[in-house]
Amino acid sequence: MMKRFGLIKSKKGLWAGVMLLTLVTAGSGFNKVGTTAAPFLKIELGARPVAMGGSFVALANDPSGIYYNPAGIAELNKIYVTGGHTVWFADLDYNYATFVLPTSRINFGVWGSFLISDDIEITTIENPEGTGQYYNYVDGLLGFTISAFLSDRLSVGLSGKYIQQTLYNESASTFALDVGSILRTPFRGLRLGMCMVNYGGRMQLSGNDLIVQTDPWPDYQGNPDVEARLTTESFPLPLAFKLGIAFDVIGEDEAFFRDENHRITIAVDGIHPNDGEEKLHIGCEYSLFEMLFLRGGYKVNYDTQKFTAGAGMKVAIGTRDILVDYAYVDMDVLDATHRISVTIGF
């Protein structure tokens, strides 16, 4: 349920939205096509938005929306805890959790995600079949989000994130920001969202395995080896600018066709990344009594991800809400992925 604070008049809120659009658009000018670090940041959170093809920038109205647009959690009026698990391809597991705490003016969120590999046996030139030692690969993110309504129709949000990648004894880390807004227009409940994600520093691997022994004067004999450190290249984060639109074709209040028992929501997102071509996400959600849900989506201009589908169920126990969602993503030549998330609202 949306909280309407009305801190300033709606017209002023609209102007604030235009100003924010100008600022975020300026940030999207960093268009450096090429390799980026921390590709796990592109793995989407939440079974509900994933089942809708990732088109969630203008909605973002559940705890997993913190990943798509930090402005979305301003609508939440309960304490929410969400946990999710994804069976990723190549024997990788992707897990995430979010915690949202609402207050009278500002909503706060804490969230994290981790991509973890199974144990990998170490091989060397001398032991190509394995040394009997093992390591694993871990990508991690910890984020903190604040979100609030500037008017009865405009909400804004800001996330700060600490990002780290670890491979055996090497690691790289940096900080990044997400900034976004959602404008709820008076026209049939049409929602407009915009967000810039992963605006931050570069990542460069460092660690003890980069220390080597070398001869500083190879042209002269009898020189003792000295300790040197190999230098690795630094890479930017996968910066992206997102625009989204969402509306209810059928539903309560401001939908195009009113119905108290059924809801059909359509959402479309456009994404401009710094390491590839523009992409389009299209999604749909059908709700029966706001208890049972069917979802589907399609992604345009992706090499593997195309069709998505899923379902969900919401159960109210007293003042508590329990939501269980599932999403399936067709990965074409790669293994299909399955996501399950559980959300509890207090």
d(CA 229, CA 209): 9
Which residue blocks in 177-291 are alpha helix, DSSP H?
A: none
d(CA 62, CA 343): 9
Q: Is the pLDDT of residue 17 over 70?
A: no
In whole angstroms, how far apart are CA 16 and each of 157, 158, 242, 304?
A: 13, 15, 18, 38
In the chain, where are the structural domains located?
10-201+239-345
Identify the band that residue 209 occupies on the pLDDT scale cut at 50, 70 and 90.
Answer: confident
User: Which of 132-136, 195-199, 293-297, 322-326 has the lowest average pLDDT?
Assistant: 132-136
Check if the beta carbon of residue 59 is closer than 8 Å to that of residue 192: no
Indicate the average pLDDT of the chain.
88
Query: In this predicted model, what pLDDT tens digit does every residue of 108-132 receive, in sequence order?
Result: 999 999 999 888 888 888 888 888 8
Average pLDDT over residues 183-190: 92
Bigger pLDDT: 228 vs 60 = 60
What count of residues does the chain have?
A: 346
Average pLDDT over residues 180-199: 95
d(CA 113, CA 141): 5
Query: In this predicted model, what pLDDT tens digit does every residue of 211-250 receive, in sequence order?
Result: 888 877 777 777 788 888 888 889 999 999 999 999 999 9
| Of 120, 57, 52, 34, residue with least CA distance to 286 | 52
In this structure, which topology does domain 10-201+239-345 adopt according to CATH?
Porin (2.40.160)
Q: Is the pLDDT of residue 345 over 50?
A: yes
Provide the 8-state DSSP code for 198.
Answer: E
Residue with tokens 């810039």: 196
Identify the band that residue 306 occupies on the pLDDT scale cut at 50, 70 and 90.
Answer: confident
Average pLDDT over residues 6-33: 41
Query: In this predicted model, what pLDDT tens digit does every residue of 128-174 receive, in sequence order?
Result: 888 888 888 899 999 999 999 999 999 999 999 999 999 888 999 99
Residue 150: Cβ-neighbour burial (10 angstroms; 0-12, 13-18, 19+): buried
Q: What b-and-e string marks burial along 163-202, b requiring 16 or more CB atoms within 10 Å of the CB? A: bbbbbeeeebbbebbbbbbbbbeeeebbbbbbbbbbbbee
Identify the band that residue 32 occupies on the pLDDT scale cut at 50, 70 and 90.
Answer: low
Share of the chain above pLDDT 90, in %: 64
103 contacts: CB under 8 Å, gap ≥ 6: none
Query: In this predicted model, what pLDDT tens digit does every residue of 76-107 receive, in sequence order?
Result: 999 999 999 988 877 889 999 999 999 989 99
Average pLDDT over residues 186-215: 90
Q: Is the pLDDT of residue 24 over 70?
A: no
Check if the beta carbon of residue 202 is closer than 8 Å to that of residue 237: yes
Q: Is the pLDDT of residue 271 over 50?
A: yes
- Prediction pTM value: 0.84
**CA angle, residues 286, 289, 290, in degrees to nearest 5:** 65
